[in-house]
Amino acid sequence: MIPLPPQKEEKKLITFEENNEIFKATLSTYNAWTEMKKDSKKVGIELILVSAFRSIKRQEELINDKRKKGIPDKEIFKVLAPAGHSEHHTGCALDLHTPNSAILEEDFEKTLAFAWLNKNAGLYGFELSYPRNNPYGVVYEPWHWCFRDKSNLVVKN
């Protein structure tokens, strides 16, 4: 098992609203996401944003909430990165959802939305960060996609 690398908290973020919720992300991530969502919709796939940027402070709060519930750290860190190590700090990671599927559950992998993402997300610069049996000991997260700045993308920023 290798430890999750440290992630810098991004300060240059844009704020946007979707489904009556406020999100923050980097501009490139937002642009790539918007394009990907638009194209998926054309083929009948509905992608819903669940979370994007998260501060280091917010990550600490989430961890402390679980500790207060008596959940051991060993279990907490299977589902939450330690503060300062979450890709959500970078403003490039998105958690996605689709209707008629449990939210942030492994079952997301059985949806058409996931099949579409698996095939197409790379074209927009998104990668699945935590596949099954990943070397970080993080649970399989089919909903968690991270935008990585790469050339030869469909989206130009």
Q: Residue 150, class by beta-carbon neighbours within 10 Å (0-12 exposed, 13-18 middle, 19+ buried)?
A: exposed
3-state secondary structure 52-103: CCCCHHHHHHHHHHHHHCCCCHHHHHHHCCCCCCCHHHHCCEEEEECCCCCC
Query: Which CB atom, from 43 or from 108, has the smaller least distance to Zn ion?
Result: 108
Among all residues, whose Cβ is closest to Zn ion?
A: 144
Q: Residue 117, class by beta-carbon neighbours within 10 Å (0-12 exposed, 13-18 middle, 19+ buried)?
A: buried
Q: Confirm or reject binding of residue 95 to Zn ion (CB under 5 A).
A: yes
In the complex, least distance from residue 50 CB atom to Zn ion, rounded to whole angstroms: 8
Of 37-45, 58-66, 108-116, 142-150, the window that binds Zn ion (rule: CB under 5 A) is: 142-150
In the block, residue with structure tokens 């909903």 = 143
Query: Which CB atom, from 144 or from 156, has the smaller least distance to Zn ion?
Result: 144
Kindly determine how many residues on this chain lie close enough to bind Zn ion according to the rule CB under 5 A.
2
In the complex, least distance from residue 66 CB atom to Zn ion, rounded to whole angstroms: 15
In the complex, least distance from residue 101 CB atom to Zn ion, rounded to whole angstroms: 16
- For residues 98 and 119, what is the distance between their CA atoms, to the nearest angstrom? 16
Of 1-9, 29-37, 89-97, 115-123, the window that binds Zn ion (rule: CB under 5 A) is: 89-97
The SS3 of residue 140 is coil
Q: Confirm or reject binding of residue 89 to Zn ion (CB under 5 A).
A: no
Task: Find the largest Cα–Cα distance for the chain.
Answer: 47
Q: Confirm or reject binding of residue 144 to Zn ion (CB under 5 A).
A: yes
In the complex, least distance from residue 98 CB atom to Zn ion, rounded to whole angstroms: 15
Query: Which CB atom, from 97 or from 144, has the smaller least distance to Zn ion?
Result: 144
Interacting residues with Zn ion (CB under 5 A): 95, 144
